[in-house]
Amino acid sequence: MSDASVNVKKRQMMTADGIPLKRSLRISLRREKLRGLALLAVPALFVIMLFIWPIYTLFQKSIDDSFVNDVLPRTMAIYEKWDGEDLPGEVHFEAMFLDLTTAEKLEIGKVSTRMNYAKSGWKSLIKKSNRKFKKFDPQKALLPQMIKADKRWGDIEFWKSLGIMKDRRTAGYYWNAVDRTYDSKKNVIMQPENRRVYVMFWKRTLLVSAIVTVACLILAYPVAYLLATLPLRVSNLLMICVLMPFWTSLLVRIVAWMIMLQQQGVLNDSLVGLGIIAEENRLPLMYNFNGTLIVMTQVLLPFMILPLYSVMRGIPPTYMKAAQNLGATPSWAFLRVYMPQTVPGVGAGVILVFIVAVGYFITPELVGGKDGQMIGNQIAYHLRKSLNWGLASAMGVMLLVAILVLYWVYDKIVGIDNMRLG
C-alpha cells in the first residue's frame, strides 16, 4: 500500500455538516439499493421456485430411502438387535406382523415395491402374506404361523435385505443407475448379468449425442455461413426456411420422417424404383439407431445454426479481404482468419446441442425402435411405468452433473465469456 492511501485512511472524510462521508454516501444510496433489490426479488423468486427448488427435490428424491422406515417403524426400530446370522426371533416377526397389518394398504403396496428393488420376491411375499394374515391368531407365537403361511419368511436372505434399507439416506439409486447394487452387507457389487442395462444406455446416450452434435456442426456451419454472407433480403428468406421446422410441432416432424425413412417409405421406394438398391435390401433407416440419429440431427440443427449465425454475422467481411490482401489464398484466409473467429459460436452450438441431445427422449421413443433408446427413455420409463422415482431422480441428477462437468471443461478450454448464444 502506498503512503498516499495510508494517509487517506487516517483522515476520515467528512461532509460539510460533519457527518462522515462514507455514512452519508450509504444513506443516500440506500433507497436506490432497496429498490434494486425489490426489482431483483421477482426474477430471483421465479428462479428459486421453478429451478432451484425442483432440482433440490429431485436430488432429495434420489437419495431418500426413508420409506421403509416410515411404513415399517417397529421392524426397523429393532432391526439392529438381530445378529444377522440366525433366523430372527419372535419379536422381529411380531413387529413385522404388526407393521404390515396396521399400515395402510396403499402404503404397503408402495413399500413392497421398494423392498422388491433390494431383493426380488418381497412384493409377492407381502401380497401373499397379507391375505393370510387375517386368519392368524394374534395370541399365539407369530413366527411359526408366518413361516407356515409362506416359507420365505424363514429365508434369512429376505431379513438381511432389510438392512440395506435401514438408513434414511442411500446412494443405492446411483449405484443402480450404473448397474451396481448393494449386497446384504451393503457392499457394492455388480448387478446380475441379466439386469445390467444402464451402463449400455449411458454409453449409447453419449455416443448418440456426440454423433448428433458433430453432424449438426458439419451441416450447420455452411448454412450459417451462407446466412451471414448473403444480402439481408435473401438471408431472411433462408432464415425462415431454417426456422420453419423449428416452429412446427415436433410430432409432425417426426411423423414426416417416418413417412420418409421407413422400410416402405418414400426414400426406400425411390431407391428401389431407381434400381439403386434391390427390393430385399431396403435400408433400415427407421425404428433403430439410424432413425434416432437422423431425426435428432434434423430436430436439433437450429440450435447449432442460430449461435453460429449470430457470431458469423458479427464478423466483418473486411477480415477476409485483409487476409487475402496480405497474400493468403481464400481457403487459407478462411482457415486462419475466419474460422478461429467463429469459435465462440461453435462452442455455444456444440454445448447447446449436446445438452439438449443428452436428455432427449421423445424422438428416440418414437423412432428409435429397440436399439435407438437413450437414458431419457429409461428415466421416463421409471417415472411413468415402474414408478421407481428414486432411480429416475438419480439418473436425472447424473445427467445434470454430466452437463455441469461439460460446462466446466468448456470454460477451461474456451472460456464461458467467449460463448455467444445468439
Partner 1 sequence: MSEFHEMGFVEFSKVQKSYDGESLVVKDLNLSVGKGEFLTMLGPSGSGKTTCLMMLAGFETATHGEILLDSRPINNIPPHKRGIGMVFQNYALFPHMTVNENLSFPLEVRGQGKAEREANVKKALDMVQMSEFGHRRPAQLSGGQQQRIALARSLVFEPDLVLMDEPLGALDKQLREHMQFEIKHLHERLGVTVVYVTHDQSEALTMSDRIAVFDDGVIQQLASPNDLYERPENAFVAQFIGENNRIDAVVSEIHGDKVLVEYNNGGKGEALAVNCGDVGSKTTLSVRPERVRIGEKVGVNSIDAVVKELIYLGDHIRCRMDVMGNDEFVVKIPNSATSISMDVGEKTSVSWDVSDCRALDA
Please report, as ranges, the residues that interact with partner 1 according to CB under 8 A: 316, 318-319, 321-330, 332-333, 336-337, 340-341, 343
- 10 Å Cβ neighbour count for 373? 23
Q: Which residues contact 332 (CB under 8 A, 6 or more apart)?
A: 323
Is the CB of 197 or the CB of 335 nearer to partner 1? Answer: 335
Contacting residues for 209 by C-beta, under 8 A, at least 6 apart? 354, 357, 358
Closest distance to partner 1 from the beta carbon of 421 (Å): 20
Q: Give the count of beta carbons closer than 10 Å to the beta carbon of residue 327.
A: 8
Evaluate whether 373 touches 201 at the Cβ level (below 8 Å).
yes
Cβ neighbors of 171 (< 8 A, separation 6 or more) are 63
337 vs 350, which CB is nearer to partner 1? 337
Residue closer to partner 1, measured from CB, 2 or 318: 318
Smallest distance from partner 1 to CB 377, Å: 41
Query: Whole-number minimum distance, CB 332 to partner 1, in Å?
Result: 7
Least gap, CB of 306 to partner 1 (angstroms): 22
> Of 408, 380, 373, 379, which Cα lies nearest the Cα of 394?
379
- State phi, psi for 20 to the nearest 5 degrees: -55, 135
Grid coordinates of 371: 436399439
Find the farthest-apart pair of alpha carbons in the chain and give their distance in angstroms, rounded.
102
Q: Which is nearer to partner 1, 83 or 417 (CB)?
A: 417
Closest distance of CB 309 from partner 1, Å: 19
CB-nearer residue toward partner 1: 144 or 330: 330
Q: How far is the CB of 62 from partner 1 (least distance, A)?
A: 43
Q: Which is nearer to partner 1, 18 or 327 (CB)?
A: 327
Kindly tell me which of 130 and 341 has the beta carbon lying closer to partner 1: 341
Nearer to partner 1, 84 or 330 (CB): 330
Shortest CB 341 distance to partner 1, Å:
6
Minimal distance, residue 221 CB to partner 1, in Å: 17
